[in-house]
Amino acid sequence: MPTVFFAFRDAPERRAALRAPESLDRYRLFGLDDVERRGVAVRHNLERAGPPPLWARTLDRTINAALYRAGGYGGDFASVLASLRRANTADVVFSTVDTVGIPLMLLKRAGALRPPLVYTAVGLPERLVQLRSDFARRLYAAALRRTHAIVAYSAVEADRLREWLGPGGPPVVFVPFGVDVDAFRQPDGALPDVDVVSIGADPRRDFELLTTVASRNPDLSFRIVTTVDRARSLRPVPPNVALEAGLPLEEVRARLAAARVVALPVRENTYSGATTVLLQAMAMAKPVVVSRTDAIGRGYRLEDGVNCRLVAPGDIDAFERALLETVAGAAAAVSLGRRARETVERCFSWERYTDALWEILAPLVSAP
């Protein structure tokens, strides 16, 4: 049977999703369950219940140290090496994130990985500019050119990778991310009980900007949902800010449902405009105020005042104005949310995302 091998970054939430691929967390699998439903066998690098074996962890430390000394950086060689034999039996290897993609592309360059490699870039341009030697830049360019295709969730990231690779590089394909529009839908009868909700674990989230806005507007209620470490770094927060951490996705969805407005301030970057939470909030017909980062500036059909409010990253005053206008303008907020829902239903459903990935993987799976 044709086989696609998925390479994942190891995380408890992802392992839980692998045990229950029909759960709300299915987006963490990047289409694995959808590929399997197409009659294709799927394998992955997290099939081992415990940590990678000692020999793989030892090699991981050795290789990463050598790459760092050479002016580069590595990734999770341990889980990749431990599953390399399984990967080599597949028709195609799909790397879902740079943490495992970098080891896979370097192993492909060395001849240790045989199947075609489809590499997903999530912030790769930021990593490439940090390479500290000509040797590292040549090595990474050669390794990336050995991939079959590179997928980017941001149009600007795709552009910068094409420019960095130059002529002769593999195709770099912009694939907009998606959301399960059935799972993320405002429940009937649910009434908002918090003025502003902000959610995210990405290090580029500008929660400091939001807490400054909250301190200026003590009559509004705010809720921030993030990781335990990020929450710790934000304390203390103003009295009108509720801070929550480590919530399962079902509770995160409930927090979105309870919001009058969803606020997503993000620092500038090429790979994350709070894309996942943005699409989830839009699918729930929530009015969203979001930073216009390069990552979402084009390709996601966002229009300021039509289906969201877009604000320049880092502009506290502009973000505050947009937020206050959206909270105060009930009718306009409802209209923003309705058109947001229409946008994701039309253009950014989970089916559209997985179909786009399958267009890249299918020719390799069916190749003789």
Residue at 304 is within a domain: yes
Question: Are 146 and 203 part of one and the same domain?
Answer: no
User: Looking at per-residue confidence, does 93 or 329 come out higher?
Assistant: 93
Report how far residue 205's alpha carbon sits from residue 196's, in angstroms, rounded to the nearest whole number. Answer: 15
Residue at 188 is within a domain: no
> Which CATH number do you get for residue 355?
3.40.50.2000
Share of the chain above pLDDT 70, in %: 99
Report how far residue 124's alpha carbon sits from residue 107's, in angstroms, rounded to the nearest whole number. Answer: 18
Note down the domain range covering 272: 194-347
pTM for this structure?
Answer: 0.93
The pLDDT value given to residue 316: 97
The mean predicted confidence, pLDDT, of the chain is 95
Average pLDDT over residues 149-162: 96
Residue at 184 is within a domain: no
Question: Are 283 and 137 part of one and the same domain?
Answer: no
Residue at 305 is within a domain: yes
pLDDT band, very low/low/confident/very high, at 367 (cuts 50, 70, 90): low
The pLDDT value given to residue 368: 52
Residue range 234-243, pLDDT digits in tens:
999 999 999 9
Share of the chain above pLDDT 90, in %: 89
User: Over 80: is that where the pLDDT of 99 sits?
Assistant: yes
Question: Are 130 and 199 part of one and the same domain?
Answer: no
The DSSP line for 254-288 is: HHHHTEEEEEE-B---SS-SSHHHHHHHHHTT--E
Question: Are 26 and 133 part of one and the same domain?
Answer: yes
Question: Are 257 and 215 part of one and the same domain?
Answer: yes
The pLDDT value given to residue 21: 83
Question: Are 161 and 306 part of one and the same domain?
Answer: no
Question: Are 210 and 86 part of one and the same domain?
Answer: no
Question: Are 112 and 230 part of one and the same domain?
Answer: no
DSSP, collapsed to helix, strand or coil, labels residue 50 as coil
Average pLDDT over residues 237-255: 95
What's the number of domains the chain is made of?
2
Average pLDDT over residues 281-287: 97
Q: List CB contacts of 110: < 8 A, sequence separation 6 or more.
A: none
